[in-house]
Amino acid sequence: MNGSNRAIPVWTLHIAVIAALWAAQYVLPDYHHGIIARVMVLACFAMGYNILFGYAGLLSLGHAMFFAAGLYGAGLPIYHFGWHVVPSFAFGIGCGALLALVIGLLALRTTGVAFMIVTLMFAQVGYLMTLWLGEWTRGDEGLTLSHSERIIESASVFIDLTNRDTRYGAAWLLLSVVLLITVVIARSPFGRVLVAIRENEERTRMLGFNTYANKLSAMVISGAISAAAGAAYVLLFGYMGATFAAIQYSILPLLWVLLGGAATTLGPLLGTLLMFYLAELSNDALNAWFPGANLSQIGIVGAALVLLVLFFPKGILGTIRERWLKWLP
């Protein structure tokens, strides 16, 4: 009758998805191999977004700042100070968590549309900072990490993150960890409180829950996961640029989550995967049909968002859960 009794199918499903993604690397052709690695990292970003938007019901329009905090938090120390990969990764996550805490303390004093605008504005400040600090970040042009800067090396281990298979493995590991964290949160008392806040905050407060503290926790977890995705991105793909702090990287996770299904554990992954391929294919198609028109995939993204909200508000897995699989977390 409730989620907690369905532990076996839930865990089986998630382990199966993780296993399938591991197996995929052995059958995928080169091109798709690379795409899936990228999708897995970006799906972590979407999962981080989903904690706040899907479960707690807080629509942020500024998550690019958390992704970028991880991206630059991990990348800049490597580039400028020669840090090693592991501490940089941890530092990137820390930057995102701290930023989310500070932004949360301020933005969570508002709700609804005001919250959207406040997060949007903070993210714009973040974006402009990446340009303003151009001496360090090189702004739009960005910075590239060299091969030697992306190697984890000690007495007993040698991990080369530029290697195709290692990169896939690292992305897979991050995705698995974040996915399992999401499942645990969704099924925990904390997850239930977040959903309760989304559904009826006043009632939740009057049942004795500190809704502000719970929302702040969701914000920090969401920011930390988004930053982990950003940090992984710079380490695995070797590039950081101001584009990742721009508005479209705040809209994309929203779109991925909406497509896959908000407040479902696997929705962000599915949404990211489908949207990535949709954008790729439509980009090719647009260029083939209208050569020289220089049309951008961002239009496709916008159209998809409008269609989703109008006709498919629960997303793919949200609809499946509603119709058939009630136990889906």
Partner 1 sequence: MAAVKPLLTTRNLSRSFGGLKAVDNVDLDVMPGEIRAIIGPNGAGKTTLVSLICGRIEPSSGQINFEGRDITRMPAHKRVGLGIAYTFQITSIYPNLSVFDNVALPVQRMSHARVSSRGLDASVMHALERVGLADEAGKTAGTLAYGHQRLLEVAMGLSLEPNLLILDEPTQGLSDGEIENFIKLVREIGERATVLLIEHNMDVVMQLAEQITVLNFGKVLAQGTPDAIRANVKVQDAYLGTGADD
Report in angstroms how near the CB of residue 207 gets to partner 1 at its nearest. Answer: 5
**159 - beta bridge partners?**
152
Coil vs helix vs strand at 154: coil
| Element housing 271 (H / E) | helix 267-289
> Which amino acid would we find at residue 201?
E
The phi and psi torsions of 312 (rounded to 5 degrees) equal -145, 50
* Alpha-carbon distances of 278 from 24, 33, 175, rounded to whole Å: 20, 17, 21
Nearest C-alpha neighbor of 98 from the set 243, 212, 219, 249:
219
Beta strands in 11-119 (DSSP E): none
Q: Cα separation of 93 and 250, whole Å?
A: 18
Report in angstroms how near the CB of residue 271 gets to partner 1 at its nearest. Answer: 21
Q: Is 1 in the site for partner 1 (CB under 8 A)?
A: yes
Q: Is 30 in the site for partner 1 (CB under 8 A)?
A: no
- Stretch near partner 1 under the rule CB under 8 A, chosen from 74-82, 114-122, 197-205, 276-284: 197-205
Report in angstroms how near the CB of residue 313 gets to partner 1 at its nearest. Answer: 13
> Which amino acid would we find at residue 139?
G
Q: Cα separation of 269 and 22, whole Å?
A: 14
Q: Is 109 in the site for partner 1 (CB under 8 A)?
A: no
User: Between residues 284 and 322, which has the closer beta carbon with respect to partner 1?
Assistant: 322
User: Between residues 57 and 70, which has the closer beta carbon with respect to partner 1?
Assistant: 57
Q: Is 184 in the site for partner 1 (CB under 8 A)?
A: no
Contacts to partner 1 from residues 129-168, by CB under 8 A: none
Q: Is 41 in the site for partner 1 (CB under 8 A)?
A: no
Q: Is 195 in the site for partner 1 (CB under 8 A)?
A: yes
Which position among 158, 203, 248, 309 is part of the footprint of partner 1 (CB under 8 A)? 203
Report in angstroms how near the CB of residue 47 gets to partner 1 at its nearest. Answer: 22
Contact indicator for 258, 271 with CB cutoff of 8 Å: yes
3-state secondary structure 63-120: CHHHHHHHHHHHHHHHHHHCCCHHHHHHHHHHHHHHHHHHHHHHHCCCCHHHHHHHHH
Cα 39 to its chain centre, rounded Å, is: 10
Which position among 38, 84, 138, 205 is part of the footprint of partner 1 (CB under 8 A)? 205
What residues contact 285, with CB distance under 8 A and at least 6 apart?
Answer: none
Report in angstroms how near the CB of residue 196 gets to partner 1 at its nearest. Answer: 5
Q: Is 323 in the site for partner 1 (CB under 8 A)?
A: no
The dihedral built from the CA positions of residue 278, 52, 180 and 185, taken in this order, carries a sign that is negative
User: Between residues 135 and 202, which has the closer beta carbon with respect to partner 1?
Assistant: 202
Q: Is 200 in the site for partner 1 (CB under 8 A)?
A: yes
Number of amino acids touching partner 1 (CB under 8 A): 21
Owner of token pair 């969704």 = 186
- Stretch near partner 1 under the rule CB under 8 A, chosen from 27-35, 40-48, 209-217, 283-291: 209-217
Report in angstroms how near the CB of residue 1 gets to partner 1 at its nearest. Answer: 4
> Which amino acid would we find at residue 127?
Y
Q: Is 8 in the site for partner 1 (CB under 8 A)?
A: no
Residues that bind partner 1 (CB under 8 A): 1-2, 4-5, 189, 192-193, 195-196, 199-200, 202-211
